[in-house]
Structure formats: structure tokens, C-alpha cells
Structure 1
């Protein structure tokens, strides 16, 4: 930057270098598979959560003055202006119905059909399937540690299946 006839060294170029260095260190912003900035999406979601918590806090504390303007009331007003579209509500229904309802129905049905000991054996496959789904849907990369964990799970299941002693036949009742 020039002041008078002197060139003040390092003001603007240093800032640019620092910005480039910070960008390299922090990396590019995380993006989903459609190229949207996840940081912006997450900030928006956290703002909505904070606003809803502020509304709940106001409702639970009747001793607060009604006319007082503070961050909580402004956040509550912003939350009242939020309009969720069909995609947001669809994602919410999917996130609630899938993990909370369907999985419990399937789990208890499996326990009633195959028994608790055999069902618990397959409960150990959950991390294995989570990694496979992350590979397919989220384009994640597999590390050596995750491969070793998957192999350990598979070896444990095979070991349990082979070490099982068959039950002795019961004599007929007289």
C-alpha cells in the first residue's frame, strides 16, 4: 500500500498470503454431493435450533419481562419467520420414521423369529453396514483401520458360528 511516496511493505500482500495460507490449512469448505456448502447449511440449521430453544426458554420462564428485547426474543422472531419447504419436512419425516419406527419393528420381529442370542450376533454388523453405506451414499474413503475393523467383525461372527455346540436331542417324554 502506498502512503505518500513511500511504499509500506507487507500490509496488503501479507494479508493475501495469510488468507491463502489459512485456506490451505483449513481446506476447502465441506460440500455435499450436489456442491452446496455444508457449513452454510449447518449454520442455518443451528440457527433454527437455537431459535426454537430460545422460544422454549421464554415459555418456561414466566418471570421474564414481556417487553424486554434481547437476543432470545430476536432469535424467536427469526424462528417464527422460518418457512420449511416440502423437502425439509420430507427429510424430517424420513429421519423420524426410519430410525425410530421401522428399525424397532424390524429388530423386535427379528428377535421373535431367530431368538435374542442370534439377533445380537447380527447387531454387531451395524458398524460394518454403516461403513458400506457411507462408501456408497456419501462417497467416503475407506481407511486401513476401518478395513481391519470390518475383518475383525467378520472373524468374530465366523468364530462364533463355528464354536457353537449343537444341542443334544431330548429323549421322548414317557
Structure 2
């Protein structure tokens, strides 16, 4: 049996803003009726965070819930716990229409942290990242450069970026170059 490795294998670019591989992260896509009590309960039981509303992410360490669409959540759990988490979802959702799939090895998680992390991402994504609009806990699915990505602000100086594993190097390099260029000063 081989050992799991993250898409970026610990890659880091250090400067005023650090871009780093966040390592292995358990990610489950959960589709269903987001208003259903069963779904909400199993999600909050698994993660220990409040259920997220539209356009939001509620995270605590390597656990959390991210709103993906009107019928889809991204459930974050420790990488080693994904199998047990899906079994718990299956048990809780029995008899209802839902889909729970492990995406952990198909995605990469990149952390952008530092005093102008917001600007690093703003240069690459067609999203209004002004502090009045994009607060910690705000979540967006969009693009970074030419690739699909999603991101949320963990705090005022930290942005978590999710992309497909196949484009992780491109997304990382794009973020690292954006960080090297320095702040724009408009946010």
C-alpha cells in the first residue's frame, strides 16, 4: 500500500505573504436538501461547527462546512477520518435522496497567509475582495487565472484556496508570483 501525499508535497513560497501546501485534507462533497434536519445534524456532528449559510464557510482547524451551491456542501474532516465520516453520513441519511463522495485525493488545499493575502488572491480572481464585501468566513467558487478554484478567508490575513489536484502546481505558482509582486494598495 502506498502512502498518501498531497498534490504539492509540502511546497512553500515564503515572503511577506506565504503561499503553502496545506497538506492532506479530507474533503467530502455532500449533495442533498440543505434544509433537511438530518443533513444539517450529521454535518454539524461531524465537524463541530455551525451549519454554514449561502456563500459562507465555517471552519475550525481541519474540520468545517463550505457552501458550494443550493444543494451542495463541502464537508472538511481530517484526511484519515473520511471513510468513517462517509459511513456516518450514509447511516444518518438512509432513506433520503443524497450523494456523499470522497474528493480528498482529487483536490489540493493551498494556504495564502500574510498582511496582504487578500490582495494576492484579488489580483487573480474575478471577485470583489474588498474588506467591506469579503469578510472572514465568506466563501466563493470562481477562477484563479485560468483554472476553477474556490476559496474562503479564514481570518483577515489568511485565505484557503481549493483547486483540482491536476492544476495544483499552476495555482500554487500563480499565487506565489502574485505574492512576489507585492500589494496593490486598493483593498
Global fold match (TM > 0.5): no
- TM-score, normalised to structure 2, is 0.21
Higher RCO, Cα 8 Å, sep 6+: 2
- TM-score, normalised to structure 1, is 0.22
Tell me which protein shows more strand as a share of its residues.
2
Which structure would you say has the larger Rg?
Answer: 1
